[in-house]
A and B are shown apart, each in its own frame.
Chain A
Amino acid sequence: MTSYRTPLARARGLGPARTGTDHFWKQRVTAAANVFLVSFAIYLIVRLAGADYPTVKSTLAQPQNAIPLLLLILSGVIHMRLGMQSIIEDYVHSDGYKVAALLLNTFFAVLIGFACAYAVLKLSFGA
């Protein structure tokens, strides 16, 4: 199908990676969310410092603590994956190493995200 849009109009706003401002925008949205979610997590962890196991377990299982923690895990791993992607793209120039590093970056973020989410959900719903 013939496109009647000019090449300039098709490229405008997308940049060399063809993803436009998507990376920047997601990075800022998760940053804004993290300000609140990280503050909450610091409060929660300071409150639980030195607490015994049953206290920690029951506190983390409460919805008002588990839900913000799950949100932090989601927002946090998206943010850190994007940040590390920028670092890799800045410093790793050979295609092979770059693709490998970007792949490992994604694997690490997904692993951390699922491990933390699994743990919080198990504390909430597990025996």
Chain B
Amino acid sequence: MAETGESASRPISPHLSVYRPLINMVMSILHRITGIALYFGTLLLAAWLVAAAGGQAQFELVNAFFAHPFGKLVLFGYSWALLHHMLGGLRHFVWDTGRGFSIGQVNALSWFTIIGSVVLTLVLWMLGLTLRGEL
């Protein structure tokens, strides 16, 4: 360990950046990111409920934000994060029972999470917009 000049080129402990992204790894990271988004997104729910309790003027102010295209985009993202985190949680429930750990099953469950969350979000918004007559 005396040859200090070589220390820079010695391998260091591998971390996330050295791995080719795999679907279960990406889903694991997304589960945490959506969890963080949902955490701060509860401010939206709180704003909506407190405004509704506060009276018509406050309610209409908050509703105007949610009706604005930017507000709608935020809500769209929030609904996807919610559904994605929920499907990810169901995946963890499967794993909690000790099942679904073969590589094929892990990959299938991971793909199911991302495809399922996107499809569910689109269906939800199509339903919602159709009910409102906006689609």
Contacts and interface: CB of A to CB of B under 8 A. Distances in A.
B74 interface: no
A50 interface: yes
Interface in A2-49: 28, 31-32, 34-35, 38, 42, 46-47, 49
B131 to A, nearest CB: 7
Interface residues of B, number: 31
A57 B90 CA distance: 33
B46 A56 contact: no
Contact of B38 (A46, A80, A108, A116): A80
A119 B86 contact: no
Given A35-B86, A126-B53, A116 B46 contact: yes
Contacts of B60: 53
Contact of A34 (B67, B86, B96, B128): B86
Given A35-B90, A115-B46, A116-B46, A50 B132 contact: yes
Most chain A beta-carbon neighbours within 10 Å: one of B45, B90, B92: B45
Interface of B: 32, 35-36, 38-39, 42-43, 45-46, 49-50, 52-54, 56, 59-60, 67, 79, 82, 86, 89-90, 92-93, 96, 124, 127-128, 131-132
7 A-B pairs closest in CB distance: A119-B49, A119-B53, A122-B53, A46-B128, A119-B50, A53-B56, A115-B46
